Amino acid sequence: MQTTSNPRYRGRFAPSPTGPLHLGSLIAALASYLDARHNGGSWLVRMEDLDPPREVPGSARLILNSLQNHGLQWDGEVLHQSRRGAAYAAALAKLAAGGHLFDCDCTRAQIGPEGSCRGDCRERQARLRAPTATRVAVPPECHIRFRDRALGWSDTALGRDLPDFVVKRKDGLDAYQLAVVVDDAFQGITDIVRGSDLLDSTARQIFLQQLLAYPTPRYRHIPLITDAAGDKFSKQTHAPALDDCSACANLRAALAFLRQPQPPTDLGSTGQILAFATRHWAPGNTPAVLSMPATSKPD
C-alpha cells in the first residue's frame, strides 16, 4: 500500500472503454502512476465512457481488472463520465452566459481540417437546421502557450489553426474536450501525464480552462508506441490485449519503452516491480519525442 503524502500532486489515468488495455495504454497508465507515486501524490482513474457509439461493452470492467492485475491501484472511486452530464451542462451554461458559444449546422463538406467550421452558421444563428452542434468561439488572434514537462514550450495559434471547436456534438453527446476539462478541475488534477496523441488537444483544453476560470494542470506528454511500420499502437490498429497472466513481463516491457531502469530479475511480483520503478522513476530518461517503436525486449 502506497502512502499519499503530497496533497499538491493529483494525477490521473483516463481510459476510454473502447477495448481492453493494450501495451500503449499500459505505458500511459504506468507513466502517470509512477510520476504520481514518485512525487508522493494521489493517482485517480476516470472512465471516459461518454461516447456510447464507440464503446465496446464490457471493456470498462476489463480495463479496471487489468490495472489491478498489474498492481496499478488507484485512490478513491473511479469517476464515470457517463454520470457527469449535469456537470457538463452547467459548464456549457457558464460558457453560454459568457457569450462564448454558438450553434453550428454545417455539413461535413464545410468542416475544415481538425474539425473547424468553415461554413456561415455564425451568421445564421436564428435560422439553423437541426441537428446542430455547439461550438466555442475562439478569437482569431488567440495563442495558447504552455510548457510541457517533456517537450518544452509549445505555442499554438489556436484561433488560426484549431478554431471554434465542438463542445457538444450534433448527436447530443458532450464532447471530449469539454468533459475532460470539467473533470480534471472537479477531481483537482494538478498533473497530467498522457500520450502525445493528445498534445494537440492540450491548447484547446487550456483555452476552455481559462474561459471557465479553472486552474491549468502541468502536462507531460510521453511518446506514443508505434508498430514496426510506424503506425500508432492502438485499439484502432488492433493492438493485442494485454495478457494479465504476464503482468510482470508487461510492466517490464512498459518500463523498457519508457527507458527506465529495469528492476532486478529477482523481483517477481507486480508490487515489487512497481515499488522499484517508483523509487527509480526518471522521466527525463524517456526521449522527448512524439512517437517511437516498441523496444524489442527488456534487458
Per CB under 6 A, residues contacting ligand GLU are 14-16, 48, 180, 194, 198
What cell does 269 get?
A: 511480483
Nearer to ligand GLU, 198 or 212 (CB): 198
Nearer to ligand GLU, 117 or 180 (CB): 180
Nearer to ligand GLU, 235 or 252 (CB): 235
Least gap, CB of 176 to ligand GLU (angstroms): 7
Least gap, CB of 234 to ligand GLU (angstroms): 9
Nearer to ligand GLU, 44 or 133 (CB): 44
* Partner residues linked to 12 by β-bridges: 44
Nearer to ligand GLU, 215 or 264 (CB): 215
Least gap, CB of 14 to ligand GLU (angstroms): 4
Least gap, CB of 268 to ligand GLU (angstroms): 30
* Partner residues linked to 191 by β-bridges: 218
Least gap, CB of 133 to ligand GLU (angstroms): 20
